[in-house]
Structure 1
Amino acid sequence: MDAVEKANAERQKRWVKDQKVGEGTYAVVYRGREAATGRKVAIKKIKVGQFKDGLDMSAIREVKYLRELHHQNVIELLDVFSSKTNLNLVLEFLDSDLEMIIKDRSLVFLPADIKSWMAMTFRGLEFCHRNWILHRDLKPNNLLVASDGQLKIADFGLARDFADPGYKMTCQVITRWYRPPELLFGSRYYSSAVDIWSVGTIFAELMLRIPYLPGESDMDQLKTIFRALGTPTEEEWPGHTKLPDYVPMGLFPKTPLRDLFTAASADTLNLLSKCLIYEPRKRITAREALHHSYFTALPYPSHPSKLPKCTTQLAAHALEEVDGNVTMDSTGPGVKAKNGRLKRKLSSPSDDSKTRSIARRLDFTKHTPHS
């Protein structure tokens, strides 16, 4: 047994899988614990053999970026080990997610509660952006909530670095309801502003308790956005008519946010509007958002420990499956891909010997450099 195999075997012994809580095409999620201390964890077992070249890029990215990001508002990757033809990600155990909390009608949200969740989201996102990482799939069920109320950004399977502004990227990212118009129009050059739009739609959803912009197709998504915020003009968003997938969508008048968010403060609406500016370069940044008057005005954000908690806890939801299709067992409700979630279609399995070899060679004990 060589040094890598030996280190992997030792890491594997450190963790115990107790109960399967979810399974999808490409991954299985377990509730587990640390053998020595009994600490609860979630173990996401990715089936390496399902992928043409041994391992899906989303799994590689998730490991790469979570190894680099250490922040109280980003989910912690505790360990990685391989076993046979599987790659196992050991993640901190989290009780629920923001989507479950929003949908729990027994809970009442105070403005201070929403402010607290938004502050934690922006803090985690600012840390990602400061480290040149785009999340590219922010939505309520990727914002997980720990037992102490701390909110943590999770699921970095679509994340990527953006240090080079001239580098083309796919526009087929971010779940449709939370996807900004520049991506819907096919932009291949974009920045951290795409994540900010997603946060704006989540902000609105926290106030409305239903998704703010639920389109049924990419075209309908654009119409839904324009009905809510008005059709952009060339003055508002220079150059948008030249984007690859631009099509005229008709003229919709701009409706004041106050008409829908009747109880929101002026500071609240100002921050929301700055997250949902059409011109990406004019959208507020996460750092600027944290210094916005919304967060210093009364009421002050609720302490995380005082935030509403879900009455139906979902063990290890952390851990939504790689392709977004997990059906949970009786420990919690089903977790399925929402309308518009990007499907990460993967190739057919390669032969066992090849995937065994790839799994054996994976050594994540060292820091992974940026690609």
Structure 2
Amino acid sequence: MNERRMFWRWIALLALLGMSAVIRPAPALALVEPYQAEFLISDEEFNDPYAMSCDQIQTFLNERPGILKGFVDGDKSAAQHICEQANRFGINPRLLLTMVQKEQGLLTARTPSDYAINWAAGCGPGWASTKGFGVQMECAARTLRRRFDNAALGEMVDGVTPINRATLALYRYTTHVAGNLNFWRIWNGYWPASAATPMPTEIVVDSRFAETTPKLVNDCRKGWVVGARAGDGHHFVTPNVASAAESTNSVVWRPNLPRAGVYQVYVFVPNRAALMWTCGGGNPVWDTSSARYTVKHRDGDTTYAVNQAPLHDVWVNIGAYYFNAGMDGYVRLSDVTGEPSLTRYVSFDDVKFVFMGQ
């Protein structure tokens, strides 16, 4: 295409975008056609950790022929690693999905090599410190975040001068045109009309992705026991203890909040199935009347006690608090209730943060 035709094509595109803005506000769409080496995806798309939920990532992998649909590294699925790191670094999980296909073809490869798994995203290939699928997701997400935050527009990479920070970040991750053309093809093949997701007003931290101490193991006093709840089966219980000196178990829900402000915090108390505690040392029968949730917010820590005994499958409002944007704030629950040890059950499930205003 000669320069004159390109010029008039840009004029037509700008006119179309201008008319759209008059009719209704619209998110920034990826320019699927034509391909431009200088513009691969928008900044809004890059900085969109809510483009796919953890369950949507798993569904996406289930629909692909590659190994990742059932792959587990450590105690986490491939979807969970991708979801957690995208959320942690505030990037679009589609970036990581595209990277694992671009670098090693893992969305389509049924029997990839050990090398392909160990350096799935091409982040520090061959380095012992970046070896392993989970480590690769952390490395890739951290590197992309840093590349975007430190992007200085005007820099040329492989003869291309990117016109936005997202594109420059991708060129600084993969420093040649061929690799980024491949990225563009994969991205637009899976998400041809992707756009930045509107900023959410409700952030839910799924219990399966909460931070537990110790890890979730059905092993007497060494961890939380997985309870059976109709519909999902991922709530967890543990016997209580009377004091902090006896405590062994705790859980933290840590959201990645898109903006600072006041958030109403809700904890979900599940409908607990009858459990038989077979580990000895106690005989918990009742649910605790004093589950102690500690909220870490901008202005300090606040503890809120909830009587779980009469509650079944309900959200409980434990107050409104001001949180900074990002992952500084959290909710924590432990096995400490103040009641006689090993006489009560403490349960947990999801926690949600609902934006109320700034």
Question: After TM superposition, is the score higher than 0.5?
Answer: no
Higher share in strand: 2
Bigger relative contact order (CA 8 A; separation at least 6): 1
Give the TM-score of the pair, scaled to structure 2.
0.26
